[in-house]
Amino acid sequence: MSIFTQYLNPLTGTTTWEEKDQNYDYHQEIARSAFADMLHDRERNQKYYVALKRAIEKKHQMGEEANVLDIGTGTGLLSMMAAKCGADTITACEAFTPMAKCAIKIIQENGFEDKIKLIHKRSTKMTVGKDGDMAKKANILVTEVFDTELIGEGALSTFRHAHEHLLEENSIVVPHSATIWVQVVESSAVHAWNTVQPIEQKNGCLLDIPNCVKSCFGAAAVHDIQLTQFPHDAFKPLISPQPIFRFDLSGKTPLLYDEKVCLHVQPTSSGTAHAIFMWWDLIMDIDNQVLLSCAPVWEHPDTKKLQDKGLTLTEIADLIPWRDHWMQAIYYLPVETSVTTDIEINLIGYHDEYSLWFQLISEPINEVPDCERPVCSCGVHVAYCRTRIGQLNDQKRNEKYIKALKKKITSDTVCLCLSDGCLLGLAAIKLGAKKVFILETNFLSRKTIETFIKSNELSERIQIIESDDDLPPESTINLIFGEPYFVTSIVPWENLYFWYLSSKYSSKVERIPIAATIMGVVVEFKDLHKIRASLGVCEGFDLSIFDKLVQASSERSDSPVEAQPLWEYTTKALSLPFIIQEFDLTKNINECKTTNVSDTVPIIEKGSCNGVVLWVDWHLDSEVTVSSGSKTETQPGKRISWDPFTRQGVHLFRDIMNVTQQSILQWSFNFVPQHGNMKFDFHILSKALK
């Protein structure tokens, strides 16, 4: 049975009805549960295994039973580890219904149904006693309830409740403790993700930044990021890494929901503090022998010994464990602070039950001040994601658009700007345009642009239009411009919404950009494919039931192409870039017919083929192109350097193939212009099977 749901087509901007499986939401929740990449983390799995084994042995050596409680069991992996290590009783709890049912089947399949009792509840709802979920309290707790921020999934309340209600007094907890590390840095590249910079050219400033934007603290949400992939020459450490929060998970000391800590730190370099890098580590066992670290490559505990063997940081980055479930994070300081090596600074950290935030104070303080969690007050950080803010600050990108605009703008130019949050559209006035109309249908983006217009005193020559039904008549404009960018777009080609909007006018009106090309390349991801890859056998346990559950739900709910910020993920080209489809944006969309194209692409480099990457090249004119793909020429066998300010489209293969020069990619593309439907299909074949 099917149901119909309302769906906003980002390509056409229209709301339509779409037929979905009646259990679409259920399947989407399963497909997005994101357990897979975590279970591919062998270091995590093995260190949990070792720590569990030691905990169980310790209890037995003390003459006690080993009664294990596994909170948030997921697939049941940790519970099965406990069973194999000889635990006397094991109680696992899992609140997510599809996973609880899946775990029961996995436990049965692996022969542990008589040893593991699964409770379909949150741990905070569990009871202990004669008729309770557990007959008696456990004396070993194993759980993995951490996220990039460590405490963002409610870890503090989970551990506190367990110690108060579910565990004996001298229980062993796996992991035993956690430490949050921070490092203050100067980085214009990091700064550009949070603070909008003026648009400038050689002759002066084209657009200044409102004071409210300059002084804004930024978004409250954590900026999770693969710091190992962040260029090491793009930041300068101002202090050495510092442990700022330590959490005793064993229950010996209380876990506080609200805490502030001040570190008096001597800077190692002078500079301007823009942000704080954060990561954490876990001590897995009570003997402090098993360390699980989420540090970036330059601070990872294994790096020094690998450097002693002559390896570079780039080579080491390919050896240390990769994680997408636990990344590192950036916290933007409320105020930029100058630091010098000869003056001690105060680095203050705060946390509540779920979040962290920080501030830096250069002058001496008598007591640690309170500080509210920073939130956006200017609207920019609410209206636009960090990737978009970085895009607005991309000087080379802006220079290309300005170059194209200069060729077209005269004192008689009346420009219609069709992009969300397009500061370049405002800058067109300073380039000499007579008037600019800006379409801003998104309320948050519109309020932001209004702030920029007022601050730059452009109100007399710029008019904001709130609906595409109110666009100015063709007789009043002579240039249509777009970056193109829209807040509703996810994959790059959805920004072709610009084409649909501009097609409300005849093709006589000049346009920038004039064309768009959807490009592709066959790749080998070093790690990214693990987010969708099958597990099969994990640490000796058969998890294929989980694979079937997730893949069946993914096929029902997921698009075959998803958006990813590929600069964070090591990618090797296995083919040359190839053209999928070119669009002439000077023609109107209603003149275009349905497109059905297919072709093959030769594989040039041997490798493990696990994906195809797609992007769009925007041709501003016959000479200037802005690409959302690679920043440099793509060469088979070499790592691709992706544009960091867009997300590329990624198709991940279910079945990963080892390819040779005898392999080809067979692809097809279907586009129905009147409905805005695009479909891609990819298959790897041997040339002999072509």
Q: Which residues are catalytic?
A: 144, 153
Cis peptide before 334 (omega within 30 of 0): no
Decide: 95 and 65 in contact? Cβ < 8 Å: no
| Amino acid (1-letter code) at residue 5 | T
Which residues on neighbouring strands pair with residue 385, listed in sequence order? none
Burial of 523 (0-12, 13-18, 19+ CB in 10 A): buried
CB atoms within 10 A of CB 454: 11
Name 563's bridge partners. Answer: 649
Q: What separation in angstroms does the CA of 676 have from each of 441, 462, 495?
A: 19, 31, 11
CB 228 within 8 A of CB 317: yes
Going through 374-451 in order, the beta strands assigned E by DSSP cover 414-417, 435-439
Enter the tokens of residue 664: 């080809």
CB contact set of 372 (below 8 Å; sequence gap of 6+)? none
d(CA 530, CA 544): 15
Which positions ≥6 away from 81 have C-beta within 8 Å? Answer: 48, 49, 52, 53, 539, 541
For 204: left if phi > 0, alpha if psi spans -120 to 50, otherwise beta; the answer is left
Q: How far is CA 179 from the centre of its chain?
A: 23
Structure tokens belonging to residue 222: 């954590």
CA–CA dist 415, 477 (Å, integer): 6
Q: Distance between CA 121 and CA 584 in Å, rounded? A: 56
The β-bridge partners of 224 are: 329
Alpha-carbon gap, residue 683 to 187, rounded angstroms:
42
On whether the CB atoms of residues 213 and 294 are closer than 8 A, the answer is: no
- Cis omega (within 30 of 0) for bond into 602: no
Residue among 237, 265, 268 nearest 349 (CA): 265
Farthest-apart Cα atoms in the chain, separation: 91
User: What span, in angstroms and rounded, lies between the C-alpha atoms of 128 and 138?
Assistant: 10
42-73 as b/e, with b when 16 or more CB fall inside 10 Å?
A: eebbebbbbbbbbbbebbeeeeebbbbbbbbb
Contact 173, 244 (CB under 8 A): no
Residues 6+ apart with CB under 8 A from 537: 543, 544
